[in-house]
Amino acid sequence: MENLNTYLQELIQKHRSNTEGTTANYIPELARVATDKFAMAIVTCDGTIYQAGDVEVPFTLQSTSKPFVYAMALEEHGREFMRSRVGVEPSGEAFNSIVELEKQTHRPYNPMINSGAIAVSSFIKDQKGLSREKRVLDLFGAYTNHQLAIDEKVFQSEKQTAHRNRSIAHLLRHFDVIGDDIDESLDLYFKQCSILVNTIDLALMAGTLANNGVQPQTKKIIVKPDYIADVLSLMLTCGMYDSAGEWAYTVGLPAKSGVSGGLLAVVPGKMGIAAYSPLIDQQGHSIRGVLAIKELVKKYKLSMFRSTHN
């Protein structure tokens, strides 16, 4: 792995010239970010960091926040409650689909799509004098080992234009999946999506999941190991939305993308991988990030389904 920094650099050079895709133009603040930025980082379970490209450039978590807030809700409410409110099946629909509630139960299909994630956020409440917002910020700060902040402009921009997410939340209220604090729940969801990180932060988050919930550098337990499989299995089957099947087939790793261009993948027991580049495809995935991670995984045979013993 000594040459990993050089290899990551090669991937950045190779794919930076790809200008396919668009920024997430349905959120005005995200539409105007610099499109040439591209970074990759890897954090191994022993805490070693490999990196290349624009790793210091900040971006908002967007949907890469979803598995982590789901893990927090699982710890607080337990598996039984969470499964009674949010399913564990891939929806095969786009991330912001309005028709993504199960026919019989009216639960959202899974916590990785917007309906499920908005429901999950509604279960995170103020606790012991700490606001739900502060609690979520502190959680991500524990993953990244430094205090994080919310990008107020992105938060406001998303909040003001979130007609679709608002209608999903009201549908969830209609079916009693969430309670009356609809606006507060949506605010928390928009805020978790607006938390600023860089690519190394994202790799540390992925590295913590890879390391069974223990932050690879601080060695603190951030997620109870018992819940790691819940989160990783959902990332594998639902993390890449309506291209989750293609991702599992070609990459074979639990992953999560965000419309800001962040992408993280987890090699259980080995490493967390992160990429950032803001030009996204129709499904909302970073185009350069997907290409680069696919190549990295192929070269080092990192797929969970590929035996390394031959």
71: which residues sit within 8 A by CB, 6+ positions away? 223, 227, 228, 230, 231
**Least Å distance between CB 258 and ligand GLU?**
4
Nearest distance, CB of residue 10 and ligand GLU, angstroms: 28
Residue 258 interacts with ligand GLU (CB under 6 A)?
A: yes
CB of 288 vs ligand GLU, minimal distance in Å:
16
Q: Which residue in the set 72, 259, 265, 273 belongs to the binding site for ligand GLU (CB under 6 A)?
A: 259
95 near ligand GLU, judged by CB under 6 A: yes
User: Rounded to the nearest whole angstrom, what is the least distance from the CB of residue 96 to ligand GLU in the complex?
Assistant: 5
- Write down the catalytic residue from 50, 143, 189, 276: 189
259 belongs to the catalytic site:
yes
Q: Which of 114, 157, 198, 215 binds ligand GLU (CB under 6 A)?
A: 114
Query: According to CB under 6 A, which residues from 52 to 71 bind ligand GLU?
Result: 62-63
Is residue 66 annotated as part of the catalytic site, yes or no?
yes
**Which tokens go with 123?**
């279960």
**Contacts of ligand GLU in 156-215 (CB under 6 A):** 158, 165, 193
User: Which positions are annotated as active-site residues?
Assistant: 63, 66, 189, 241, 259
| Residues near ligand GLU (CB under 6 A) | 62-63, 95-96, 114, 158, 165, 193, 258-259, 284
